[in-house]
């Protein structure tokens, strides 16, 4: 369903639709699964907005219900009596309290103010910053191989083209498919951080879990970049933009690459029709690009001043004229003059054509012993994994033109 239809549904219907998507996803594949994923993310965002509005309404109602009246007495009389009591207490040198919501309209119920001491209050949660992890790492194909060392993937390079007419009693025409192989080696990926012990003593807010989760997040961010720009060396994936020195090791033929330095009204067609075989147009492919290039797609206008491309945004993903995209900051912007010549910027193809071999779970640990004397708490996380393009010409790549072209 479209976003415009979803925002007009109530919470009950949205949850029902989400349950329906969960059922459909069990059998969906390719583009259909991508569409269901995008719709589910959209519904979750709308449900969160509904909940946030309800929370704000509840806080507003609490603020409106606060009264200083005492049963049996008029409001003004009670207030005057309290003022007198506070005045006398001040003269006597005693500490008094004022209703914070009267002095500051936006203060929440839990806060109070005293004249003698101004207490510090801590929020009950930790406000997160902008998302800095692309969803690409969750959408490529992951192969669980706990305890393994390497993973070899075979793929078809050509089915052969030797069929033809054969004379009576002559040998059959030879048709031999050709195969290729790519190997994913076990690589150790780690993340580490430290924090002062005072951090975990702060009341209410669970800083400890945020820091512990951040090392895991750092690993996912690193893997996201490696999927695109891993150069195949020790500790690195074989990324989509990786070109091995030996031609026999090349899963993607560099001759299929597109060169461009601007985004025009023909760019999307050039990419779509430039990908795949001679007999079909792939319909389950996804465009991976930088946010800056997405902005250029969005701002491009026709001769009448209307937007040329229809962009639907869903956070890290969305569609350009119905073509799914995913943002990944490891991609340089093809429209950025600072991007080096011949540098890869975009890729287009089915995300399942990239495989990650996961040789272990993410292991995150906390230690209070390493820097006990300094009062530091250490966190670390690690995973063993590898990755590579696992289909012949599995993606078409877009790069900046070489010098002089």
Per-residue pLDDT of 362-387, as tens digits, reads 887 778 787 777 778 888 888 899 99
Confidence check: pLDDT of 111 > 50: no
Residues 109 and 218 in one domain: no
Reported as type and span, the H/E element at residue 175 is none
Q: Are 239 and 227 in contact (CB under 8 A)?
A: yes
Residues 84 and 231 in one domain: no
Residues 94 and 232 in one domain: no
Provide the domain count of the chain. Answer: 2
Q: Are 294 and 345 in contact (CB under 8 A)?
A: no
Residues 340 and 230 in one domain: yes
Residues 350 and 226 in one domain: yes
What would the mean pLDDT of 261-283 be, rounded to a whole number? 89
Cα gap 163→168, rounded to integer Å: 15
In this structure, is residue 223 part of a structural domain?
Answer: yes
Confidence check: pLDDT of 67 > 60: no
Q: Are 218 and 191 in contact (CB under 8 A)?
A: yes
Domain with 85 in it: 66-114
Between these two residues, 318 and 86, which has the higher pLDDT value?
318
In this structure, is residue 26 part of a structural domain?
Answer: no
In this structure, is residue 139 part of a structural domain?
Answer: no
Residues 302 and 384 in one domain: yes
In this structure, is residue 88 part of a structural domain?
Answer: yes
Lowest mean pLDDT, pick from 101-105, 115-119, 174-178: 101-105
| Helix axes 11-25 and 30-65, enclosed angle (nearest 10) | 150
Reported as type and span, the H/E element at residue 282 is none
Residues 251 and 391 in one domain: yes
Q: Is 223 exposed, middle or buried (0-12, 13-18, 19+ CB in 10 A)?
A: buried
The CA dihedral of 363, 364, 368, 372, to the nearest 10 degrees, is 90
Confidence of residue 5 (pLDDT cuts 50, 70, 90): confident
Residues 287 and 379 in one domain: yes
Residues 219 and 359 in one domain: yes
Confidence check: pLDDT of 128 > 90: no
Please provide the average confidence, as pLDDT, over all residues in the chain.
79
Final residue before a domain boundary, out of 55, 83, 114: 114
Final residue before a domain boundary, out of 114, 149, 172: 114
Confidence check: pLDDT of 124 > 60: no
In this structure, is residue 166 part of a structural domain?
Answer: no
Residues 104 and 231 in one domain: no
Q: Which two tokens stand for residue 224?
A: 């996201």
Cα gap 209→17, rounded to integer Å: 32
Q: Are 68 and 82 in contact (CB under 8 A)?
A: yes
* Percent of residues, the chain, with pLDDT higher than 90: 33
In this structure, is residue 275 part of a structural domain?
Answer: yes
Q: Are 383 and 219 in contact (CB under 8 A)?
A: yes
Instruction: Kindly report, residue by residue over 158-191, the tens digit of the pLDDT.
Output: 666 666 666 777 766 666 677 888 888 889 988 8
Final residue before a domain boundary, out of 99, 114, 129: 114
Confidence check: pLDDT of 60 > 70: no
In this structure, is residue 209 part of a structural domain?
Answer: yes
Residues 205 and 308 in one domain: yes
- Highest mean predicted confidence (pLDDT) among 130-139, 231-240, 391-400: 391-400
Residues 349 and 243 in one domain: yes
pLDDT at 75: 61
For the residues of 70-123, what is the DSSP string, one character each? -TTS-HHHHHHHHHHHHHHHHHTT---EE-HHHH-TT--TT--EESS-------
In this structure, is residue 61 part of a structural domain?
Answer: no
Q: Are 99 and 291 in contact (CB under 8 A)?
A: no
Q: Is 267 exposed, middle or buried (0-12, 13-18, 19+ CB in 10 A)?
A: buried
């Amino acid at each position: 369903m479209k976003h415009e239809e979803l925002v007009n549904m109530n919470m009950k219907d949205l949850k029902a639709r989400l349950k329906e998507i969960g059922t459909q996803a069990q059998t969906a594949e390719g583009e259909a699964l991508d569409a269901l994923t995008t719709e589910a993310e959209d519904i979750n965002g709308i449900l969160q907005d509904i909940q946030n509005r309800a929370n704000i309404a509840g806080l507003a109602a609490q603020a409106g219900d606060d009264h200083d009246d005492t049963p049996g007495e008029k409001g003004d009389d009670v207030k005057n009596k309290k003022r007198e009591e506070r005045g006398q207490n001040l003269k006597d040198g005693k500490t008094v309290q004022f209703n914070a919501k009267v002095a500051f309209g936006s203060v929440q119920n839990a806060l109070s103010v005293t004249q003698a001491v101004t207490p510090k209050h801590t929020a009950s949660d930790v406000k997160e910053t902008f998302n800095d992890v692309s969803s690409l790492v969750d959408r490529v194909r992951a192969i669980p191989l706990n305890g393994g060392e390497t993973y070899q993937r075979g793929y078809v390079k050509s089915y052969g083209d030797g069929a033809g007419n054969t004379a009576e009693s002559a040998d059959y025409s030879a048709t031999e498919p050709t195969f290729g192989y790519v190997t994913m080696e076990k690589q150790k990926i780690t993340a580490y951080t430290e924090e002062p012990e005072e951090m975990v003593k702060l009341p209410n807010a669970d800083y400890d879990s945020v820091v512990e989760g951040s090392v895991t997040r750092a690993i996912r961010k690193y893997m996201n970049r490696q999927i695109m720009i891993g150069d195949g060396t020790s500790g690195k994936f074989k990324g989509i933009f990786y070109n091995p020195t030996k031609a026999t090791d090349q899963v993607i033929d560099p001759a299929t690459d597109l060169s461009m330095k601007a985004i025009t009204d023909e760019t999307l067609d050039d990419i779509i029709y430039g990908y795949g075989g001679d007999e079909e147009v792939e319909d389950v492919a996804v465009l991976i690009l930088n946010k800056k290039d997405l902005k250029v797609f969005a701002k491009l206008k026709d001769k009448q001043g209307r937007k040329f491309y229809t962009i639907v945004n869903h956070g890290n993903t969305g569609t350009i004229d119905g073509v799914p995209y995913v943002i990944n900051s490891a991609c340089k912007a093809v429209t950025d003059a600072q991007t080096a010549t011949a540098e890869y910027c975009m890729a287009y193809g089915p995300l399942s054509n990239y495989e990650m071999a996961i040789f272990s779970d993410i292991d995150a640990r906390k230690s209070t012993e390493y820097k006990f004397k300094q009062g530091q708490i250490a966190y670390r996380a690690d995973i063993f994994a590898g990755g590579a393009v696992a289909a012949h010409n599995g993606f078409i790549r877009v790069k900046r033109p070489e010098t002089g072209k």
